[in-house]
Structure 1
Amino acid sequence: MRGPRTRWREKNTPAKVETYTRWSFHFFSLIEITMIGMAPAGSLPAAYARWVIVLVTAHGLLCSVTASRALDWTRGRREQPMRLLVALGVATGVLGIAALALKTYGPDGVDAGTAAGTVFVGVLGFGAGTVALGVRKRKQVLASVVGFAVGAGLGSLPLGFPGPAALATAVAVLVTAGFLSFTSVFSVWLLNAVYELDEARDTLARLAVAEERLRFGRDLHDVMGRNLAVIALKSELAVQLARRERPEALDQMVEVQRIAQETQSEVRAVVRGYRAADLTAELAGARGVLTAAGIQCAVTGSASGLPQEIQSALGWVVREATTNVLRHGNAVHCSVELRQDADRVVLTVQNDGAPEAAPMGRGHGLAGLRERLSQVDGTLHAAPCAEGLFRVTAEVPLPESHPHGHRAATDEGSPRRAAVDGARPLMNKIATSEVPS
């Protein structure tokens, strides 16, 4: 079974903030029951104390339920809980009048009067603060706070309170209700802001993938459009010449074969990212995208002097790892390190906020990267490295120590082998550029 710590780690940032906000308001209800109900009740006779504890406890539980439903409404999961808000307002008013009556007609003594006053101010303050969660406009929140304060002042006059005491009661309710209402409004604003930022990060990841798709589409169109048009024209010419039994038809088909082979090489270059294979640009782009998404990113190392094919393979690792940091997990810090040893190049991408089962290990992204790295005899390892940390490590041997490392990338072989080599990267590109749903 998954424990509380595991479930907490698997939550993303908005879910954690929402859980914290909900339990904060439940804790407010507990504060009301203990500090407003039980503590003052010790200054009252037993008969009065029992009623105060029961009524304040019921009011606190009603505030807790109303706060939970109101937060669901702010997130669009249910309708506005109007009945609960009205019921809470009525219950707050009735309990406040009962507390004033207890102060006026209850047991004598300074302690009893102070206890009744504490119950009165506390109940109205917590009631107004909870009602503020269920309204959307600031004017409505302000009207609710002022209404409770004015009602407290006016309601105390018929019960024999002198003018200064009634004014002091209204001010106390205004300050308490205003503070708790501000806390409620700020909590809702913060929760909505966190969800909006998370949606912005997801949109940024989608845009990054969409931009790469557009770049690939433009490059592929430039290569295939022109060459296929030439192939179609020369094939048609060869057909016409063959029907007339002209020997030039053979020359035209040889030319068609040459253009098709060139097209195959150009498409393979586009798919492998050779036209945008600058690893330095990929590292700078990763830092810019992650920083824009609110993730602290540190990039160390230089790609200068690396062969073009190694830069291309490692560039795809940086691009895919960056996309997964944006799309999955709950990262706050991310580090990208490029280290060149005597016989190999090591690229490490590590981020925090990753769940135990890292999403990059599922699907086609990891397989596609391993396929790309295998073309330069490279290896890829992606797994959690510590609690809450996930690391992607790519190692590629330098050509000097592996002279035959690029045979598969340069050996054309038979036409059938060349066709397979040209189709495989295209399939991997389509698989790894999937937009999250």
Structure 2
Amino acid sequence: MPEMEDKGITRARRIVLVTLNMTLVVVWVIVLLSSAAGLVLRTLPPARVIPALIGLVVFSWLFLRITRAVLDHRYATREVVIAGVLALVLSALGGGSPTGWGFVPLGWLSVAAIGLSRRRAVLLGLATTLVTSPLSIWGMLTVTDHSWAGTADGSVAGFIIGVLLYNTLMCSIFPWANRLWVWIWQLAEQAHDGKEAQSRLAVAEERLRFARDLHDLVGHQLSAIAVKSELAVRLAPDPEAAGAEMAEVRSLARKALRELREAVRGYRELDLVAELGSVRGVLEAAGVDCRLHLPYRDVPAGVAPVFAWVIREAVTNVLRHSTATVCDITVRFNGEEAVLEVTNDGVTPRPVEDLGSGLAGLTERLAAVGGTLTARPNGSGEFTLRAVAPVLAGVPA
């Protein structure tokens, strides 16, 4: 499961990085279309387009460095500043059209605002509006023949207001779109780190509990054995007394060994309730809807540990070998037998025999307590694993 979680967070990082870099793709598409139109209409000289395209390549390199830094929790100040200055230069070289080279500063803003506080992001958007709007207005007025200004609706004043509104709207939207994606990524990363921390804490707590149990169960007997052994040495001249002490040593050693075996056996058994909660969380984290159908009474103690192993292996197979979206886990029992069914809707094309050695091991476990295990498609596009065991079954040591 840790490997699956690592793959999931890596895939999420890749998706967010591609999403951030899609802004750069949009910039290139708009710039290339605008430049082609400008060259055809002769409103944009080739002497300005060529150096602008070279500069855009450099801008793209800086843009990619900025987005990688964002996902590494760094703010690439140097790259942001250089890319910002270059974006303004490219906008001026390309004529500053809001739907052409003037779009480059907007692409820069979409990543430059990531990692800043809300207040600074708003101020950066406002500053970008104030700087890019004059460039856009100047560029559009210098590269056109002003034939559109002959009517009231197409007046220069109306054009200026339109450019201001357009830039204001774009500079208000662009910073927040990518900030939302990064925020979602950070939530996913925090959840992943939280799971790792929880797992490490659980392991540490289990180690402490194991050490405490061993100390409480065996420590007293081992201390007594040491004392009795020393006493036996001192009583060596008296064979009868020494023999009595050594007999007590043997009794204490056997008792310590028995309690140690009981402690270890307890760690080998799984808790059914805990396992149900664990597999439900794992399935839902993997995007599988887990539905539990449980009896109102506790499953008999002799059957519960075996069913816990069955559930663990069944869910492992669901995650590894199926394309399930729904998994139903049903437990029921009466006075004679207990039944566990794990059904999923992602039937694997592989035969049951190819699902690994886990099912064979489960079959042996159930056979040891007089139970049976079956695993096969049920004919309705679902796969069902069914375990049956007598309720009076005991768990093998």
TM-score w.r.t. the length of structure 2 is 0.67
User: CA-to-partner distance for each residue in 1:8-66, whole Å, 9 max, x for gaps?
Assistant: x9973322222222222333333233345416843763544684876776566555433
* Equivalent position to 2:253, from 256, 260, 268: 260
Match for residue 131 of structure 1?
112
Where 1:195 maps in the other structure, the secondary structure is: helix
Match for residue 304 of structure 2?
311
CA RMSD of aligned residues (A): 5.1
Match for residue 109 of structure 1?
none
Match for residue 225 of structure 1?
219
Residue 198 of structure 1: how far off its partner (Å): 1.0
Q: Which structure is richer in relative contact order (CA contacts within 8 A, separation 6 or more)?
A: 1
Where 1:242 maps in the other structure, the secondary structure is: coil
Residue 89 of structure 1: how far off its partner (Å): 1.6
Where 1:298 maps in the other structure, the secondary structure is: strand
Distance in 1 of aligned mates of 2:296 and 2:204: 26
Distance in 2 of aligned mates of 1:319 and 1:226: 36
Identity, in percent, stands at 25
Letter in 1 for 2:122: L
- Gap change, CA 1:267 and 1:333, over 3 Å in 2: farther
Where 1:118 maps in the other structure, the secondary structure is: coil
Letter in 1 for 2:90: L
* Equivalent position to 2:293, from 294, 297, 300: 300
Match for residue 210 of structure 2?
216
Match for residue 15 of structure 1?
10
Match for residue 238 of structure 1?
232
* Equivalent position to 2:85, from 84, 90, 93: 90
Letter in 2 for 1:184: N
- Gap change, CA 1:244 and 1:220, over 3 Å in 2: same
Residue 232 of structure 1: how far off its partner (Å): 2.6
Residue 286 of structure 1: how far off its partner (Å): 5.7
* Equivalent position to 1:273, from 253, 257, 266: 266
- Gap change, CA 1:378 and 1:126, over 3 Å in 2: farther
How many residues end up aligned between the 2 structures?
A: 358
Distance in 2 of aligned mates of 1:18 and 1:250: 71
Match for residue 125 of structure 2?
145
User: CA-to-partner distance for each residue in 1:77-100, whole Å, 9 max, x for gaps?
Assistant: 8x7544543332223212322455
The gaps in structure 1 that reach 5 residues or longer are 1-8, 102-115, 386-390, 410-437
Q: 1:36-185 to 2 correspondence within 5 Å? A: 36-38=31-33, 41-42=36-37, 45-48=40-43, 51=46, 61-62=57-58, 64-76=60-72, 81-100=76-95, 116-119=97-100, 121-133=102-114, 135-155=115-135, 165-185=159-179
TM-score w.r.t. the length of structure 1 is 0.62
Letter in 2 for 1:71: T
User: Quick check: 1:36–1:56 contact (8 Å CA) kept in 2?
Assistant: no
User: CA-to-partner distance for each residue in 1:132-169, whole Å, 9 max, x for gaps?
Assistant: 34x54444433332222111344467777966644542
User: CA-to-partner distance for each residue in 1:256-286, whole Å, 9 max, x for gaps?
Assistant: 3233222222222211227986534553566
User: Quick check: 1:278–1:312 contact (8 Å CA) kept in 2?
Assistant: yes
* Equivalent position to 1:188, from 171, 182, 190: 182
Distance in 2 of aligned mates of 1:174 and 1:15: 36
User: Quick check: 2:52–2:94 contact (8 Å CA) kept in 1?
Assistant: no
Residue 223 of structure 1: how far off its partner (Å): 0.4
Residue 180 of structure 1: how far off its partner (Å): 1.4
The gaps in structure 2 that reach 5 residues or longer are 143-155, 378-382
User: Quick check: 1:129–1:178 contact (8 Å CA) kept in 2?
Assistant: no
Distance in 2 of aligned mates of 1:175 and 1:305: 61
Where 1:299 maps in the other structure, the secondary structure is: strand
Match for residue 3 of structure 1?
none
Residue 227 of structure 1: how far off its partner (Å): 2.0
Distance in 2 of aligned mates of 1:325 and 1:129: 41
Residue 186 of structure 1: how far off its partner (Å): 1.7
Distance in 2 of aligned mates of 1:85 and 1:315: 54
Residue 224 of structure 1: how far off its partner (Å): 0.9
